[in-house]
A = this chain, B = another copy of it.
């Protein structure tokens, strides 16, 4: 089997991030977020549960996915250890590994829920996240092995994986064939890449190839074929369906397999699934999975703002999928989507102080209507997303997923190929990177305030000639100035990237993307946004909050010919925007005590509109928020 392309990834370990937006976020992650989650996971008994000693009546009952919470926390810790040694972090991971050492079964099995709660039922309940948990253990173990060189964690998961291989692929003695919640597929590919052991890739392919083969497989009761991406064999799937996180993790595994095995049919499926998810089912923030019912995709163009589910993990999943697609196709669209997610639907999922998290990321909040349904019992209320971030959730998949992505954001920066020697520059963020390309060292240093402004200085050093493919972000619509060693260049565009050929040595590249506030409209098929526009500045989507703009935000209209005033907020670390708008005078209606007047009978009042980045919403208490506003 030959890889589908000659493109290769530059892993985040090659990159140091010492200034700017992502430095600050990684520092917050290391100083605050990882510890905030640690405390919450301690308090809720998750860490303790790894000791598998729960008994009825003794403390909180472990949940089927607690292993994955701890594993993602360990993975986050491992990534942070690459950035900066921290004995306490390492100690905690070692304690987890110690618990596993103690309780791993002679045959390799380890799952803290099953061992403590229903040991007789292992490998019998497809929807119980058993292989999903193993997938996250694998990712954590690979990360920890890379970070510390301590092999025990990795040895543990390999032993467990070999058991799974035997039970599922060789003996078929498990009660189901493919996992109900995907994750192990992409993890097995990661393990295969890390160890080079073919068995792991084969097991991944086994799970992929059998998915959707027997659509009735343990789909009893409510989980139907779409929910768990069982409706067709994976190579035949063309629409992104069901539980959005499961879908994305599956597609990651598919893209890994397509690349690794040169499987063009699988790659075609990945392209169609990406196209459908992004072209018809994605919020402007990069959020996906619009419905809380099943945490799922629904139908094309169904993107309600106030009820948006848009789970943090689903946005992360889409970014991980797009990153893998960058190895299948040379197309800047993938990096554009990653950027859209990173600066909007992903960043929104964590509070500015790093302590609290959104599971769901709505695009509109009208608290007065969210807290309605006063006249019936609680559980019949109409469901709206939380309006405030929380420190922990019963299902707390998102927080440690967020910390691990922040810590490994460097993974999104570069890919390369060796013949002809080319480095793809996908993302712009202040950083320095070193790696070897066919044995030849390459250094890339980006100096930039991006996304606060659109100027990027890129220093490239390599003893040999080198091609660069510089992504011109979709949002600047081709308006970019490029100079090499001070000499302005025409953009030589190919698949969304500007091609630059460099001789050996050190070169200074400057990119200046035209970054001005832009109003963006949405497809006419999206009913929710009809007649409305969203304000953007570079990759960042903006919103209005009630605390700045008063109530009835859906009523506000921005003036088409407004001037914009942009100010950088040191405190918030981002640009704020002021613009001119109008709203109708509500007094006329209130005085009449009537809801309906002849059009034009209420005067418009001028109002300054104060926009903040969408990702910064809900950091000042519960208040109205809108992304999509009227234009006049």
Q: Given that A222-B376, A299-B374, A375-B241 are known contacts, is A520 also in contact with B293, CB under 8 Å in the complex?
A: no
Query: In the assembly, what is the distance between CA of A282 and CA of B594, in Å?
Result: 10
Measured between beta carbons, the chain B residues less than 8 angstroms from A242 are 375
Digitize A204-245: 1 where CB-to-B-CB distance is under 8 Å, 0 elsewhere: 000000000000000001101011000000000000011100
Closest B residue to A228 by CB, please name it: B375
Residues A599 and B373 in contact in the complex (CB < 8 Å), given A293-B381, A293-B382: no
Cβ of A377 within 8 Å of any chain B Cβ, yes or no, is: yes
Complex alpha-carbon distance, A297 and B293, angstroms: 24
Whether A302 contacts B226 by the Cβ 8 Å rule is no
A residues contacting the other copy or chain, number (CB 8 A): 74
> How long is the Cα–Cα vector from A543 to B484 in the complex, in angstroms?
60
A519 within 8 A of B: yes
Q: In the complex, which residue of chain B has the Cβ closest to the Cβ of A372? A: B298
Contact with B along A520-532 (1 / 0, CB 8 A): 1111111100111
Task: Give the residue name and chain of the B residue nearest to A589 (CB).
Answer: B523
- A275 at interface (Cβ–Cβ under 8 A)? yes
One of A23-31, A489-497, A549-557 contacting the partner: A549-557
C-alpha spacing A371/B601, complex, angstroms: 38
Contact between chains at B586 and A524 (CB < 8 Å):
yes
Could you tell me if B599 and A374 are in contact, using CB atoms closer than 8 angstroms? Answer: no
A297 touches B375 (CB 8 A): yes
- For A221, list chain B residues within 8 Å (CB): 377
How far does the alpha carbon of A291 sit from the alpha carbon of B222 in the complex, in Å? 26
B601 & A521 in contact (Cβ 8 Å cutoff): yes
Is the beta-carbon distance between A298 and B519 smaller than 8 angstroms? no
Chain B residues lying within 8 Å of A279, measured Cβ to Cβ, are 593-595
Docked CA distance A376–B524 (Å): 27
| From B377, B522, B554, contact of A527 by CB (8 A) | B554
Asked whether, in the complex, the Cβ of B376 is within 8 Å of the Cβ of A595, the reply is: no
If A521-B601, A524-B552 touch, whether A375 touches B226 (CB-CB below 8 Å) is yes
Chain A residues in the interface with B (C-beta under 8 A) = 221-222, 224, 226-227, 241-243, 275, 279-280, 282, 284, 291, 293-294, 296-299, 301-303, 366, 368-369, 371-377, 380-382, 477, 518-527, 530-534, 552, 554-555, 557, 583-586, 589-590, 593-602, 630-631
List 21 contacting pairs A-B, 8 Å CB cutoff, sorted by A. Answer: A224-B377, A226-B375, A241-B375, A275-B593, A279-B594, A284-B596, A291-B372, A291-B373, A293-B376, A293-B382, A298-B372, A302-B369, A519-B599, A520-B598, A520-B599, A521-B597, A523-B586, A524-B552, A524-B555, A525-B589, A599-B631
